[in-house]
Each structure stands twice: as C-alpha cells, then as structure tokens.
Amino acid sequence: MARPKPPPPRPQLRAGDVVVLRQSQDAVEGEIIAVLTDGHYKVRWLTGVDYQHRVTTVTTEEIRKKTELGRS
C-alpha cells in the first residue's frame, strides 16, 4: 500500500515580503526587513496610525503575506 504524500511545506516569508497584521482593525501593512529564528520576523510598518514608521518583531501567527492583487 502506498504511503500518502505529506502536505507541502508552508510558504516561508522572506525579507522584502509585504505582510499585513492579522488582528488589526485598520489596514496595517509592513515589509519584512529581517527573518529571525523560530518563526519571528522584524517588520518595518508602512501604514497604520499606531504602526507607521515603526519597526517591531512579530510571529508568523500575527501576520500574513499580502497577495499580489492587494488582498490578504
């Protein structure tokens, strides 16, 4: 009996990727500037009243990659 194929690996975020903050009421977008260990990323926020021009460290669970069409 053939073994089932494992699911494909989750896409990895990279420096330069544009991401959005999942739990924000506003459209908060940022650019990953560094990939850290254990699913952490340093992000420079581009939009958002409380975030714009700030750099924070976030986890994979807090962000998602912005799609090419502007939808996330």
| Domains identified in the chain, total number | 1
CA neighbor of 32 nearest in space, from 45, 23, 22: 45
Domain enclosing residue 52, as ranges:
18-65
Is 1 domain-assigned?
A: no
| pLDDT single digits (tens) 27-42 | 899 999 999 988 999 9
Q: How far apart are CA 51 and CA 25, in angstroms?
A: 12
Is 37 domain-assigned?
A: yes
Is 52 domain-assigned?
A: yes
Is 41 domain-assigned?
A: yes
3-state secondary structure at position 8: coil
Is 72 domain-assigned?
A: no
Q: Are 9 and 26 in contact (CB under 8 A)?
A: no
Q: Is 62 left (phi over 0), alpha (psi -120 to 50) or beta?
A: alpha
Q: What pTM value is reported for the model?
A: 0.77
Is 2 domain-assigned?
A: no
| pLDDT single digits (tens) 2-55 | 788 876 666 689 999 999 999 888 889 999 999 998 899 999 999 998 999 999
